[in-house]
Amino acid sequence: MTISAMNWSQVEAYLARDDRAVLPLGSTEQHAGLSLSVDSILAERVATEAAAPLGVPVFPVQPYGLTPYFLAFPGSVSLRLSTYLALVRDILDSLHGHGFRRILIVNGHGGNAPAGALAIEWMADHPGTAVKFHNWWNAPATFAKVQEIDPVASHASWMENFPWTRLPGVVQPSQRKPMVDFARMRVMAPAGVRALLGDGNFGGLYERPDEDMLAIWETGVAETRAALEGPWA
């Protein structure tokens, strides 16, 4: 279930029997020909599908993250690190204040990694509350499935091209793009990153058969559900 489909009294009743919650973290950034909301769409959907059989509420996805390197691509939005960490801290404080004591953060964007460090610091200040930071796409089983299908996988490539991240009328290129020079890209300002990447794909095929994508998705949902089930401290 989702918080958006509940009222406050239903949340209060839920907390009388369980103290788990799921917080998806996403981003709004370029993904070549895919939606700018890829990371948010995937984090929220995998969280919702994973939590549904357990009856654990999923909060709305945080749609803005840390993506300063893509700011030359129109539509990309990046928060300052201080802003982002303060925002995540405030969300955790709110959940804790209501009685949530086991919180699974389902992250869909690699740039949001500082939130994982924040969660560790925050737990030290809130004894008795456990927070897991789960990068759903590169958790062990899910990443192994990606590598089994095609080891050349990267940002905005086939590995993020699901039926629910595609845009109507947008035809993906058929070729395999050479992998970007990451060492060079990491020292570039946003304008240089755009010039280097061109369409925004880091490298690899742009799409693979849906059966491949659904196999990855099923693994990701199952692995996320396992994280939510436990063990918890």
Q: Where along the chain do its domains lie?
A: 3-229
Q: How would you write 64-103 as a 3-class SS string?
A: CECCHHHCCCCCCEECCHHHHHHHHHHHHHHHHHHCCCEE
Question: Which residues are registered as beta bridge partners of 107?
Answer: 25, 135
Residue 92 clears pLDDT 90, i.e. is over it: yes
pLDDT tens by residue, 2-55: 999 999 999 999 999 999 999 999 999 999 999 999 999 999 999 999 999 999
Q: pLDDT above 90 covers what percent of the chain?
A: 99
Token digits of residue 99: 């009685």
Token digits of residue 148: 């089994």
The answer as to CATH 3.90.1150.10 being correct for domain 3-229 is no
Of the candidates 57, 66, 58, which has an alpha carbon nearest to the alpha carbon of residue 26?
A: 66
Say what the pLDDT of residue 94 is.
Answer: 98
Say what the pLDDT of residue 82 is.
Answer: 98
Average pLDDT value over all residues in the chain: 98
pLDDT tens by residue, 131-158: 999 999 999 999 999 999 999 999 999 9
Burial of 17 (0-12, 13-18, 19+ CB in 10 A): exposed
User: Contacts for 140-148 with beta carbons within 8 Å, 24 or more apart?
Assistant: 140/223, 141/219, 141/222, 141/223, 142/216, 142/219, 142/220, 142/223, 145/215, 145/216, 145/219, 146/216
**Rounded mean pLDDT, 127-133:** 98
Token digits of residue 84: 């982002």
**Rounded mean pLDDT, 113-137:** 98
pTM (predicted TM-score)? 0.97
Say what the pLDDT of residue 233 is.
Answer: 79
pLDDT tens by residue, 154-186: 999 999 999 999 999 999 999 999 999 999 999
Say what the pLDDT of residue 166 is.
Answer: 98
